[in-house]
A and B are shown apart, each in its own frame.
Chain A
Amino acid sequence: MEPAEAEFLAEKELVTIVPNFSLDRIHLIGGDLGPFNPGLPVEVPVWLAINLKQRQKCRLIPPEWMDVAKLEEIREQERKEDTFTPMPSPYYMELTKLLLNYASDNIPKADEIRTLVKDTWDTRVAKLRLSADSFVRQQEAHAKLDNLTLMEINTTGTFLTQALDHMYKLRTNLQPGESSHSQDF
C-alpha cells in the first residue's frame, strides 16, 4: 500500500470544524453531514474539513490529542516502553500532516506539535526496524506487533515481506551439509 492510500483512508476520520456559512444537512453515500450552522461546531471528515478550510469556509478545531502537553506525554511513554504504545489516533501521522499543512493557523503551537509527532514517529519506526532486525536474526517464524498504525506497517511491510521471501529462497537453496554460519558473510 502506498502512503497516499493510507492518507486517503485517514481522510475519512472525523474532525470538528466551525463553519462560517449556513447549509442544510448534505446527504452523501458515506452518510449525512451537517447541518452547518455558522459558529456552531460540527464534525466532518478530514477531506471536507480541508476543502472547506482551503476555501476559507471554516475554522478547524484541532483534535483533542493534538496538544503539546498530551503529545509530550505520549512521546515520553513511547521512549520509555520497549513495545509500541497505543497512539491517540490510528492515523495520527497522516492527520498531523494534513491538518498542519492546511490549517496550521487554527492549531496553536503547530511547529511544536509537528516536532513532537515526528519524534514519536521516529521512535516507533526505530523500534519497528529493531524488532524486524531481531526477528530476522533469530529466524523466528512469527512475531506479534501491537498498536502499529497503518502508515507504520506500510513503511516496512512491503520491504520486509519481500526480504523474507528472498531469504527463504536463499535458505532453501543451501546445501543441507553446509553450516549456516557461512551465511553471515
Chain B
Amino acid sequence: MRYGHTEGHTDVCFDGTGSCIVTCGSDGDVRIWENLDDDDPKSINVGEKAYSFALKNGRLITAVSNNTVQIHTFPEGAPDGILTRFTTNANHVIFNSDGTKIAAGSSDFMVKVVEVADSSKQKTFRGHDAPVLSLSFDPRDVYLASASCDGSVRVWKIADRTCTTSWPLLQKCNDVINAKSICRLGWQPGSGKLLAVPVDKVVKLYRRETWDRKLDLSDPFITQPLNVVAWSPCGQYLAAGSVGGNIVVWNVETQECIERMKHEKNYTVCGLAWHPKHRQIAYTDTEGNLGLLENIGDGKKPNDKVASTVTKDYNDLFDGDDDDYLNGDMVEPQSSPKAGADEDDGDDDDLRPTSGHPRRAVIDDDDNSLDIGMIKANLNLEKEDGDDDQTSGFPALPLSSTQQPFYDGPMPTPKQKPFQSGSTPVHLMHRFMVWNSVGIIRCYNDEQDNAIDIEFHDTSVHHATHLPNSLNHTMADLSTEAVLLACESTEELASKLQCIHFSSWDANKEWTVDMPKDEDIEAVCLGQGWAACATSALLVRVFTVGGVQKEIFSLPGPVVSMAGHGEQLIVIYHRGTGFDGDQCLGVQLMELGKKKKQILHGDPLSLTKKSYLVWVGFSAEGTPCYVDSEGTVRMLNRGFGNTWIPVCNTREHCKGKSDHYWVVGIHENPQQLRCIPCKGARFPPTLPRPAVAILSFKLPYCQVATEKGQMEEQYWRSIVFHNHVDYLSKNGYEFDENTKNQAVKEQQELLMKLFALSCKLEREFRCVELADLMTQNVVNLAIKYASRSRKLNLAQQLSEMAVEKASELATAPEDEEEEEDFREHLNAGSAREWSRPPVRNVQQDQEMEDADETDGCEEAEETPEVPKQRPNPFSKGVTSAEATTPKSVVIASSSQGRVNPFKVTSNKKDPVVPTANVLDTMSKYSKKTSLSGSRAANKQNHLVIKPLTPKPKSKQASAASFFQTRTPNSSEKTAEEREEKAGNEPHEAKVAAQENTENRRPKTGFQMWLEENRANILTDNPDLNEAEIIKEGMSRFRMLSSEERMAWTEKAKGGALNDLTDDKKRKRSAADEDEAKKNQEQNSEDSNLSKKPKPLDQSTNVRLSAFAFKQS
C-alpha cells in the first residue's frame, strides 16, 4: 500500500504484458509504476481530473474532466486525439477485447461505442435515466453491459443498439457521487458466459443469452456494499472490492472463497485489476492509494493447482506443448500453434479472433462441447456478419493486436544511428560537428547561411577558418593535419568525402572523393597521416591524408562510430540486435602503421544497461575509450588482456537528474576527463560558448570511503592509467621516462602504505599478498618494516618471497627492466655486494668485510650515520647531496628545458634522474612528487598536443646525450669515461635504469686496475672519499708502464668474455686480487646475464639501516 494519487476516485490496470501498473487519479495524472516500490513513476498529465482510463495495444484512453474521451500513446504519453465528447464527463471507459472499440458511459445518461481507428464511427446507446456508472464489453463484442444511477443494469446488443435486458438491481440516486456503489460490473473473459454484477454485498452472476441468474457469490467477510468486480484473465476467479475496503476472491466454479483481504485503512476500493499472468491484483482506493495483492490463493491446495496450471497454459501458448490438462480441451491444441503462426503473418484475419479468445476459454471449464461450439459460432458470426466496423478495423492494427497477447518477451531495441564523437545532433541549426582536443568545428545552417566554422584550440596549428557548406556536410573530424568533412548523398549528388589537408606543403590543400552510387558515408575519422570513412555498404575505406586510396575492409555490421589516433583506428558497429533497450555493439581496433594488425577482433562492447554509445575516441596518450549514455566512461585496459574498465561515471558529478556531461577529451597524464557540463541537456548549445570542465577519474572499487579502499583504488588507477607507457614504448613512440618512474614510485608507495595499514590491522596474510605486488626493493623495505614492528613470522614469509622473486628475476631477466639496482656507482665499493648472486654470499662475506668495514658496522649496528660515511660522490647518501646538486640541475635543464629557478628546496636532489631505488628516498617524495609530477605532466601534456611521432632510435640517442651531460660534472668521471671510450666499449643504452647501464658496461683497463688496487690506495690514504680515490688511482695508473697499461686494457677486453669457471679458478688467489676478480666475474655476469638477483640479507640490512636513519 502506497501513495499513488491525491485523494479522489482512482482507477488501475496492468499494461498488456503485466510489466507495469498504470493508475489514474483525480489529480489528472496517469502514472506508470514499474512496481509497487517504484518511487519515480512516469506521469502523464491527461487533464485536470481523470475519471477513468483504459489501456490496450499502446493506446491509453482517458475520460477527463473536460467531458472528452481522449487517446494518448502508451507509454510515451503523447496526445493522440479526442475520440468523443459528452455534455458532462464520462464516468467509465473500456476497451473491447481486441482493442478496436471503446465504450464510454457518461453522466449525461448516454453510452457511446466508438471505433478507435475512426472516431467518426460512433454508436450511441440511449435508455438510461441517470448518469451511467459502469460499462462492460462482452468479450465476443456482441453485448455491452451498463450500470446506471437509475438503479438499472442493462445489457445492450451492440450491433443494433437495442437494450436486450434490464435488471433493476441498484439503489437509485441522482448522481455518481451519491451512488452507494460505482458497480463496476464484468463479463467473464474468454467465452463471456457470465456477467458479474456487484449488488450490495453479493456478486450476482447472470448467464449469457438466457439472462437468468446463475448464482450469487457472497462471503460473511463482506460487511459493506461491493464496489467493483474483476475477473481473472483466465476467467476462473472473480475478485470483488467493497466500499469498506474488503477484497474477496472466489473460485467461480466451486464458489469457494480463496482470498480475503482487508484494506489496512478501510478506504473504499474503487479499482481492481488482475495481473495478466501472475496471481496478483492491483487495487486502488478513493484516497488515492495503490496496493498490490500477491500470491492469491496460496496455501490452498486445490486452488494452487489450478493456479499453476493457469500459468502453464500461458507457457503452452508459447511452446505449443500440450499437457494432459489441456488435451481434454480441444480448442487449445488448434489455437496454440496457430497462435504461433499468427505472429508471423499477423494479417491473417481468420486466425486472429481465435487467438484472441480461446486463450482464456481453454482454462474456462470442462464443458468443452458448448464452448467450442460457441466460439466457432462466434467466429462465423463475426466473419459472416462482417460488421463493417470490425472488418475494417482489423487491418488497421493487426500486428499490435496479435502481438500483444502472444509475444511479450524481450523487445528488440531500435539500433542507434551512426554518429561522430563530439558532435551535437544533426537537426540543430547551430551545432558542433566536432569538438575534440585539436579544435572545434561548428556548423550553421539557417536561412541566410549554411557555413562551417573551424577553430583550433591552439592557434599555432592553424588559423580559424570559415567555409561555405554548399555540399551540406554533416560529418566532420579534425586533426592537427587536416579537416575531414563528409556529406550524405542527395538525389543528384553522390556521398562525398572532402579533406582539407591544411598541413600539406604543396599548393593543393583540398581533395574530394565521391562514394560509389548508393553508398553513403556514415562515419569519418582522421588519424595521423590517414583518413577513414565507414559507409552504408558496411565498408571502411582508408585514405592517406593526401588522398590516396588505401585499405578497404568490410564491417560485420552497420557502423555506429569510429575514431582515429596516431596509427590506431577504432570502429564500433552493430554486432546484432539488442533487446529491452540494450544495444548490441562490437568493436574493432586496428593499427594502420607499418605492421598492420588488428588488436580487437570485433569483441562485444560492454555498455551500461539500457544505454547507448555517446562518445568513442582515444585518450591523448592513445588508449581507446568510450562513453555511454549513462555517463560511464570506459577505457581499454591493455595491461589486462585488452579488457574494458570503467574509469569514471560522469553522472556521479551531475547535480540535477537531467544534467549531463558532454565528453570532449580524455587525458591519462595528468588524469583528466575534459567535458562540458550541460544543464538539463545531453549536449551543449553553440552559444553562449560552453566552457570545458575537468573531472577526475575514479575506478568503481568497493569501500573507497575507507583508507584501504581508497589506496587500492589509487593503486589500480595508477596502474591502469600508466598502461599507455608500456604500449608507447612497445610501439616505439617517444615518451617521457620520468612519467613511468614517477608512476612506479607512486604505485610502490601506495603498496607500502597498504602494507603498513595491513600490518597495523594484523592482517599478515594480506601483507604477504601485497608484498607480492611490490618490486623487490620495496619488498626489502617491507621486510624491514615487518621486523621492526615485531612481526617476525611475516618478515620470514616475506624474505622467502623475496628469495623467490629474486630467482624469478634471474630466470626472466628481460622482464624486469624497471627493477632498480642498488649500486650507485661502478666503483663504489660500499655498494658492490648488492649485485652478488645469493649463492655466493658465503664466499663473499669474508672479503666484503675486509673491503669496507664501514658497511660491516652498518650491518652490525644499523647505525644511522653509516650512509653518511659512504665515500661515494654519486650515492644518494646525505653527504653527497651537495655533490649531486649541480649535476642534477644540469640534467634537469637539459632534459626538461625549464626549471623553476625560485624553487630551491626540492631541487636538492633531482627528481628527474631516475633514482636507483624507488623507496630509499621515500621521505622526500611528498615534496618531490608534486613538483616533478606536475612537471612530468606538463611534459606529457606537451607531448599530447603534438601528435606522437614514432622515434625508434630516440631512446638510444637520448640515453647518450643524457650520459654526456652528466660527465662534465666531475673530472674524474670524465676521465674514466674517456678511458671507456678509448677502449671502444659499446654503451649499453638503457634509459630505464641508467645506473644499471653503467654497471653493466664492461670495465675498462683502468677500472679493473683500480679495483685491484683500491685496497692499496685505501690503506695508504684511509680518509679519501670516492672521488679522491679515483683521482689517486688515476695518477698511479699513469705511472705504470705502457706495457702494463696495455695488459690491463687487454685484460678488460678479455674479461668480458671470461667464462665463469675461469673466474672461479682465479678467485682463489691473493686477497686483493681476489676482490678484483670477483668484480670481474660479476661483470662478466653482468654482460652475460644482464641482470642478476641480489643477496637478500645484506641488502636488507643496509636498507634497514637506511630506514632506521630516516625514522630518526
Residue ranges of A at the interface with B (Cβ–Cβ < 8 Å): 16, 18, 20-22, 24-25, 27-29, 32, 34-35, 37-41, 56-57, 59, 61, 108
Give the docked Cα–Cα distance between A25 and B688 (Å).
29
Alpha-carbon separation in the docked complex, A29 to B903 (Å): 10
Contact between B692 and A41 (Cβ–Cβ < 8 Å)?
A: yes
User: Once the chains bind, are A37 and B945 in contact (CB under 8 Å)?
Assistant: yes
| B458 at the A interface (CB under 8 A) | yes
B691 touches A20 (CB 8 A): no
Q: Are B942 and A24 in contact (CB under 8 A)?
A: yes
Q: Does B934 contact A (CB under 8 A)?
A: yes
Q: How far is the CB of A25 from chain B (nearest CB, A)?
A: 6
What would 10 more interface pairs be, CB under 8 Å, given A18-B692, A20-B456? A20-B458, A22-B941, A28-B902, A35-B937, A35-B938, A37-B941, A39-B439, A40-B692, A41-B691, A56-B459
B903 / chain A contacts, CB cutoff of 8 Å: 27
List residues of chain B with CB within 8 A of the CB of A25.
Answer: 934-935, 938
Say yes or no: A39 contacts B457, CB within 8 Å.
Answer: yes
User: When chains A and B are docked, how far (Å) is the Cα of A63 from the Cα of B979?
Assistant: 63
B942 engages A18 (CB within 8 Å): no
Assess whether A38 is in contact with B457, with CB atoms less than 8 Å apart. yes
- B residues with a Cβ closer than 8 A to A are 437, 439, 456-460, 674, 688-689, 691-692, 694, 897-903, 934-935, 937-939, 941-942, 945
Give CA–CA (A24, B931) in the complex, Å.
13
Give the residue of A32, A34, A61 whose beta carbon is less than 8 angstroms from that of B691.
A61
Q: Given the complex of chains A and B, what is the CA–CA distance between A39 and B689 in angstroms?
A: 12
Alpha-carbon distance A57/B902, docked complex (angstroms): 26
Known contacts A27-B900, A35-B937, A108-B688; is-contact A21 B458 (Cβ 8 Å): yes
Q: In the complex, which residue of chain B has the Cβ closest to the Cβ of A31?
A: B902
Specify which of A28, A38, A56 is in contact with B458 (CB 8 Å cutoff): A38
In whole Å, how far is B537's beta carbon from the nearest beta carbon of chain A? Answer: 36
Q: How far is the CA of A108 from the CA of B687 in the complex (A)?
A: 11
User: Contacts of A24 on B, CB cut-off 8 Å?
Assistant: 897-898, 935, 938-939, 942
Q: Give the most central of A16, A27, A57: most B CB within 10 Å.
A: A27
Q: Which residues on A sit within 8 Å (CB–CB) of B897?
A: 24
Q: What is the count of residue pairs linking A and B with beta-carbon distances less than 8 angstroms? A: 62
Sample 7 A-B pairs with CB under 8 A, ordered by A number. Answer: A20-B456, A20-B459, A21-B459, A34-B938, A40-B692, A41-B692, A56-B459
List the A side residues contacting B688 at CB < 8 Å: 108
Expressed in whole angstroms, the minimum distance between the Cβ of B465 and any Cβ of chain A is 14
In the assembled complex, the Cα of A34 lies from the Cα of B934 at a distance in Å of 10
Shortest beta-carbon distance, A152 to chain B, in Å? 31
Complex CA gap A108/B934 in Å reads 34
Q: Is the interface of B mostly helix, strand, loop or mixed?
A: loop
Complex alpha-carbon distance, A16 and B692, angstroms: 11
A38 touches B902 (CB 8 A): no
Residues of B within 8 A of A21 (CB): 458-460
What is the minimal beta-carbon distance from B1056 to any residue of chain A, in angstroms? 43
Instruction: Give, as a whole number of angstroms, the nearest-CB distance from B375 to chain A.
Output: 70
Residues of B within 8 A of A34 (CB): 938
**A29 touching B437 in the complex, CB below 8 Å, given contacts A20-B456, A21-B459:** no
Given the known inter-chain contacts A27-B900, A40-B674, please indicate yes or no for A22 contacting B459, CB distance below 8 A: no
Chain B residue at minimum C-beta to C-beta distance from A16: B691
Known: A20-B456, A108-B688. A38 touches B945 (CB 8 A): yes
B674 lies within 8 A of A29 (CB): no
A41 to B456, CA, bound (A): 15
B900 touches A22 (CB 8 A): no
Taking CB atoms, residues of chain B closer than 8 Å to A108 are 688
Q: Please list the 9 inter-chain residue pairs (A to B) with the smallest Cβ-Cβ separation, ordered nearest first.
A: A39-B457, A38-B457, A38-B458, A27-B900, A24-B938, A20-B459, A35-B938, A22-B945, A25-B938
In the complex, chain A residues whose CB is within 8 Å of the CB of B898: 24, 27
Asked if A39 meets B437 with Cβ closer than 8 Å, knowing A21-B459, A22-B458, A22-B945, the reply is yes
Alpha-carbon separation in the docked complex, A73 to B93 (Å): 53
Docked pose: A16 CA to B934 CA in angstroms? 20
Q: List the A residue with the shortest CB-CB distance to B935.
A: A25
B691 touches A18 (CB 8 A): yes
* Residue from the set A37, A41, A61, A108 with the largest chain B CB neighbour count within 10 Å: A37
Closest Cβ of chain A to B818, distance in Å, is: 26
Task: Kindly state the separation between the CA atoms of A38 and B455 in the bound complex, as whole angstroms.
Answer: 11
**Bound Cα distance from A61 to B688, whole angstroms:** 11
Q: Which residue of B lies closest to A22 (CB)?
A: B945
| Complex interface: chain B residues within 8 A of A20 (CB) | 456-459
> Per a CB cutoff under 8 Å, which of A16, A27, A40, A56 touches B902?
A27
In Å, the complex CA distance between A29 and B674 comes to 30
Q: Which residues of B contact A27 (CB under 8 A)?
A: 898-903
Nearest CB on A from B946, distance (A): 8
